[in-house]
Amino acid sequence: MTQSVRLLSLVTAVPEHVIPQSQAAEASARLFAHRFKEFRHLAPVFENAGIEKRHAARPLSWFEEMHGWQDRMEAYEEVAASLFVQAARRALDQARLTADQIDCVVTVSSTGITTPSLDARLAGLLGFRADIERVPVFGLGCAAGVSGFGIASQLARSRPGAVVLFVTLELCTLAFRLDELTKPNIIATALFGDGAAACVLRSGEGGLAEVESAGDHLFPDTLDIMGWKIDDTGFGILLAQSLPPFAEKELGPAIDGILARAGLKRSDIDRFICHPGGMKVVAAMESALCMAPDTLDIERSVLAEYGNMSSPTVLFVLERAISRGLPDRAAMIAMGPGFTASCVTLRRVA
């Protein structure tokens, strides 16, 4: 009989620099208003985004200077390594484990690149064994908090007794572009922040929650909805205006299909735990999943305090949901480049 996979720990971490939304709006006006005639029509997004502040890899003054690919990736390597170590150590402490007890580490990030990967660079510092299995994953974007969690849980399920560390981190602000006079760039400037989360999974008993199922849905012909364009300066945001209406129309059937493969239906879910991509996306998800308006209250509070941190954000929501007390069955949901919907179902443990 296959043992259930348990979530043993979950922690979150953010970089030290804090940017209030009012300061982000003022800086953006100073940097763009005189060069981009559409800016005045876009400026209300800072007020309407539902974000009060966000954490950033660098202080606000750094973003007022031009930076190329090398600058950005050096900043990514430094800050991502710091967040990885901080989150991993705290997740291990919470699980009452040591680094040499980790059999596999799954790392997801889509906002920077290092080779060797972060897990290899930090293996000695953290104390991983030489035979640890490393699974670095790039390109899943906002969906990776759920899809990466699903990958980690499947690895734990397939190897009874194995301990899997899952780390998700994003430094979205490092993609800020002074040279991109576009609507997507302004929206990204108003929405995105930086953060990380880590958790430990293992088959067995106890823990914070039982991981019941995991699945994904890839929508055909949707490559232009979300992603990066990459040039000499760095990453540039690709973000279709159609995302909220697309989510409202397509998310429900996709989640129904994922749940059905696990022998579940939507009515079996007591609480959806969603990635808050933005206020309009949160409202679209409520509509798509037939929830009453303002049901996703934790999602809105996380968005207000941290902005959209891409993949880790849904785990910030899960952390708060666990502290409130999970219902009998919950489903984590996120959407990301591909275009993809990811879903993991969780059961409450005694």
Residues annotated as part of the active site: 142
Contact (CB, 8 A) for 331 and 272:
yes
Residue 35, helix vs strand vs coil = coil
CA atoms within 13 A on the CB side of 68: 2
Residue 72, helix vs strand vs coil = helix
| Beta strands, E only, the chain | 5-13, 17-20, 53-56, 104-108, 133-137, 163-171, 194-203, 209-218, 226-230, 235-239, 271-274, 329-336, 340-347
Closest C-alpha among 256, 317, 261 to residue 289: 256
Closest C-alpha among 220, 222, 311 to residue 12: 311
Phi, psi torsion values for 161, nearest 5 degrees: 95, -20
The residues facing 17 across adjacent strands are 56
Burial 99-127 (b: 16+ CB within 10 A, else e): bebbbbbbbbbbbbbbeebbbbbbbeebe
Supply 96's token pair.
Answer: 């009452």
Tally of CB atoms within 10 A around 285: 27
Distance in angstroms (rounded) separating the CA atoms of residues 216 and 98: 32
Distance in angstroms (rounded) separating the CA atoms of residues 340 and 194: 22
Tally of CB atoms within 10 A around 61: 9
For the sheet with 194-203, list strands across it. 133-137, 104-108, 163-171, 194-203, 5-13, 209-218, 340-347, 329-336, 271-274
